[in-house]
Amino acid sequence: MTSVPAITIRRARTSDVPGIRALVAPLAEDRILVAKEAVAYYEALQEFRVAEDADGRIVGCGALHVMWEDLAEVRTLAADPALRGSGIGHRLLEQLLADAVEIGVTRVFCLTFEVDFFRRHGFDVMANQSAVDPEVYSELLRSSDEGVAEFLDLARVKPNTLGNTRMIRSF
């Protein structure tokens, strides 16, 4: 792992949205992440953490989206491709997991192509929907959030999730 000096992990600000979108754009083109309109990033801004280099450039991002009392999803975890392997993704994910614990979440879900990365952080591949009991499942079905639909593995989101692995970590 290459070391990257002077990276700061902090809460995202409105001025970070263009940098977040720039990080996500190539990954969305490759269908690794889901493309979103700018308004979606502003609406979810309080969920985001960013990695900022010494020059103030956004070199990584990630979000924690609460889905239920004890369940959240790691979303939009991305790092500058030129800095891949430098620990930015690790630091962002560790911060998001710490945020989850701080707010009372006991399980964190992700939908990813990076299975080994998430395994190294304590995530396991989800075998089935037993992650939520039937009553909670029924409640989650009422959500209009696409991430919740992905977690529930609903047919309407299958084209966007083909090839991804659903993983979960419990605390």
pLDDT digits 0-9 by tens, 59-105 = 999 999 998 888 999 999 999 999 989 999 999 999 999 999 999 99
DSSP 3-state of 113: coil
* Cα separation, 11 vs 17, whole angstroms: 12
User: Does residue 130 have a pLDDT over 80?
Assistant: no
> With bands split at pLDDT 50, 70 and 90, how would you rate the model's confidence at 166?
confident
Name, in order, each residue with C-beta under 8 angstroms of 133's C-beta and a sequence gap of 6 or more: none
pLDDT attached to residue 24: 96
Highest mean pLDDT among 3-7, 42-46, 122-126, 142-146: 42-46
* Cα separation, 29 vs 160, whole angstroms: 12
CA 119 to chain centre: 15
